[in-house]
Structures are given as C-alpha cells and as structure tokens.
Amino acid sequence: MTGRTWERKRSHLLHLRARLDEAGLGAADLAADYLDDKTLRAKARRKVLDQELAGRDMTPAMENTPRRRLRQRALWGHWGDFPVSPAEDYEVFASLVDAERRSYRLATELEDIAAEEHEGRMGDPARQLALWRAVLTAGVEAFLHGLRDSDGAVGTFLGDALETYARLPWRDTGIGPAVYWADLCEWCIWEDWGIRHRRNTAPFRGARTGDVDPVERLLLDLEAEHRSHRLDYEADEALQLIAWLAVATHSFDRFVPAAKRLRADWWMPVDAMGEAANKARRPDLAAEVYGAAIAGGGWHADHLTVCACSEPAARRRRRAHRSGSSSRPSAAASLHVSRPTLGHMTGAQRELIVRHPRVCHGQAVVKGTRVMVSVILDALAAGMTEDDILAEYPSLTVDGIRAAAAYGAELARDEYPAVAAQ
C-alpha cells in the first residue's frame, strides 16, 4: 500500500472518529454485533491495512486530506484578508502556465508581464503586493502540474519574484502583520522546488525586531499543526524557517533553541547560524549552536562536527580570495563518514544526475526536474519510502530516486561522480 493511499485512509478514519465523537458514540457501539466474527474482522483488516483504494472507495475525507487542505490554504487560503486580492492576477498568470511549454519562454513571458504590471502600479503597493503574491502561487502550481524546468529559468524567476515580494512596503498596504506572515510562512513551508535555495533568509528581510517573537510563535504553531497530521517534512520546514528568521534578524539569543529543535537532521540552517555567530565574532555562541544540534543526534551529526571544527567559511573565502586559491572545500572536509561497501553508479544512473548553472544554482538534480539530489537524500533519511517521494515529487521516477541515492553513496566514498552538464 502506497504512502498516499494510507494518508487517504487515515484522513477518512480521523473524520469518522470526529463524527462518532460528535454523536457521542464509540467504534464498539457500531461494531458490537460483529466483533466475534473472526472472518469479517480479518477481511476488514486486510481492506484497511493492505488493499489499495479504487475509485468507488473514495470518500470526501479521502479526497480532501490534510495535505491537500493545508497546501491549498498555503497557496491561496489567506487571500480574502488581503487589501487587494491576488485572485484576479493569479488567473492571468495561471492561464499562461502549460506544463508542455519550454520553461525559458514561459519564464520570459511571466517576467515581462509581471515587470510591466509592476511599473503600472507604482504608488499602489497594495496592488503590487497582490501581483507578486499571485506570481508565487501560479509558479508553485506550475510545478505541481508537472512543469519540467530543465533550464531552471522558471525557478530563477520565481526566486527573484520572492525577493521582490519580500522587499515591497507591505506595511503601507493595510494588510495585517498576522495575515502577511501567516500567508508567507505557509507558502514557504509548501514551496518544495528549490525556489528559496540560497535565498533562505529572503522571506524575512523585511522583518523588524517586533516581528520576531510573533512569527516564531506562528511557525511553532504551524510545526505542531503539520506534525499532528503526520506531515513531518512540512513540519520540519517550519522549524528550519525559525532558524532562517533568526539569521535574517540577527536574533542571536534564538540560535541555540533553534538548533536544539533542528538537531542534526537539517544541517544548512544550523551551519548558517554557526557562520553568523562567527561572523559576529561570537565563536563561543557558534560552538554552542553546533553542540546543541549535534547533541540531539541526526543524520548530519558527523558533518556538523566537521563544520564546528573547521575554519569559518567567511574567513576561509576571504583567505582564498587573497591567495587566489579555490574556496571549495575538499570532499573529505565537507563529509566525515565511513566508506560503505556499496556498488558504483551505473552509466544509466550517471545520465540521470545533471548539473546546470541556471538550475538550482548548479546543484546536482535529477535530469528533467528541479528536484535536487540533496532533497531526495534528506527525504530518504527522514524515512520516506520511494512511493512517498514519488507522491511528493510527481516529476521523479524510481530510477531517478535510486540514481540520487547512488550519487550520494559515491560522494560518501570521497569520490566525485562524473555527471552530465546540461
């Protein structure tokens, strides 16, 4: 049974339990006459635990799962509280999106229209806010519908759109801070196509000191809400956003609590906090940040141990610039793992992993997608099955997932797999 099937069944069971509670009943009240029928109980167990769902099996609760509800809320659920609803602009951009179009031409058209509209709305920040918010949802939906951004043009445009949106004077539009931050944070939680790669602090660049505490509480509430529905990946995204919020606002007092929550499962925000502390000439705080994450355990504990013991990257880059040497650390410096006894990448697998300077900033991705190898490895580390990953990233294939795993294994052997350049 696939992960998505089980998610639908769980949604149905939770809805059934809520209806029973509302009626003051328990499951035994309905099934009391059948509890002694072992044959019927075995059949029911197989149907619930083993069988896939057919079309006739679907109930409204199975169709409208927590994943679907929360994603829809993230994409457009707060628009009714905007001073100007993004809905009209969204219809314009959504009409242009076609999964079969070449991504470069699509990105160019979207960018031209957005730029022209933005210029035409000078002096009206509320309408500009609606414009760029519509762009963000239309872009995510394009990926949900199977857009193959092979040259990275759409992803790059959407990253630029996020930067533009975050720089807008939203406080002058009349939108409430609670609405603005809830809408933006939820969009970030469900944006899963690398749009924020190397722009992780961008959503919070307009945050003020007074915003930090309520936004952190909001993200903790979102983490708990998503975790309660077993949407652990999205819940972890909320925890990572807390760390990026702290980095963006230089909230050093929040670094260690954020690192404790993340543990060593998510190394990038932890390392960013460590780097920020070192840059602020607070090496003791940096050591405490790394120590808090490592103490919690996790997949990247060894890597964070190396980071904690290494020269701060900012200082390393300055030294490399002065000497003219490369600032890229060796594989041994960035990975500290034992050599597994696994096979090597096959020729077919090498063809499935590619790099392009305009796709995810040159990170290794599965060919024909914007899904980074690191995202797949994180998903596997979190316990997601191949079926779960395919459900989350419809553009992937089983072969692509396995090629990403093989690529990671070769990196762990301190090797540089040769992959195709697009």
Residue 330 confidence (pLDDT): 36
- Does residue 209 belong to any structural domain of this protein? no
From 41, 64, 87, give the residue that closes a domain. 64
Q: Which of 35-49, 60-74, 204-218, 369-383 is predicted with the least confidence, judged by mean pLDDT?
A: 35-49
Across residues 166-182, what is the average pLDDT? 96
Residue 136 confidence (pLDDT): 96
- Does residue 248 belong to any structural domain of this protein? no
- Does residue 153 belong to any structural domain of this protein? yes
Average pLDDT, the chain: 84
Give the chain's domain count.
Answer: 3
| Same domain? 48 vs 91 | no
| Same domain? 71 vs 58 | no
Across residues 115-138, what is the average pLDDT? 96
- Does residue 202 belong to any structural domain of this protein? no
Identify the domain containing residue 186 by its residue range: 66-195
- Does residue 254 belong to any structural domain of this protein? no
Pairs from 101-105 (Cβ < 8 Å, separation ≥ 24)? 103/147, 103/148, 103/149, 103/150, 103/151, 103/152, 103/153, 103/154, 104/151, 104/153
| Same domain? 175 vs 106 | yes
- Does residue 30 belong to any structural domain of this protein? yes
| Same domain? 158 vs 40 | no
From 47, 64, 81, give the residue that closes a domain. 64
Residue 58 confidence (pLDDT): 83
**Position 137 confidence tier, pLDDT thresholds 50, 70, 90:** very high
From 30, 64, 98, give the residue that closes a domain. 64
CATH code of 407's domain: 1.10.10.10
Q: Are 9 and 48 in contact (CB under 8 A)?
A: yes
What does the pLDDT look like over 351-379, one tens digit per residue? 889 887 666 767 888 988 888 898 899 88
Residue 46 confidence (pLDDT): 81
**Position 120 confidence tier, pLDDT thresholds 50, 70, 90:** very high
Q: Are 170 and 75 in contact (CB under 8 A)?
A: no
Cα 14 to Cα 12: distance, rounded to the nearest angstrom: 6
The token pair that represents 390 in the structure block: 């395919």
| Same domain? 89 vs 133 | yes
| Same domain? 12 vs 36 | yes
| Same domain? 72 vs 156 | yes
- Does residue 117 belong to any structural domain of this protein? yes
**Mind giving me the DSSP string for 297-347?**
--TTHHHHHHHHHSPPHHHHHHHHHHHT---PPPHHHH---------PPPH
Q: How many CB atoms lie within 10 A of CB 166?
A: 19
| Same domain? 190 vs 82 | yes
| Same domain? 104 vs 11 | no
Residue 325 confidence (pLDDT): 44
Across residues 71-99, what is the average pLDDT? 92
- Does residue 51 belong to any structural domain of this protein? yes
| Same domain? 70 vs 190 | yes
Task: Provide the percentage of residues in the chain whose pLDDT is more than 70.
Answer: 87
| Same domain? 152 vs 47 | no
Helix residue ranges, H only, 125-231:
125-144, 153-167, 177-190, 209-228
Taking 70 as the threshold, does the pLDDT of residue 113 lie above it? Answer: yes
| Same domain? 49 vs 73 | no
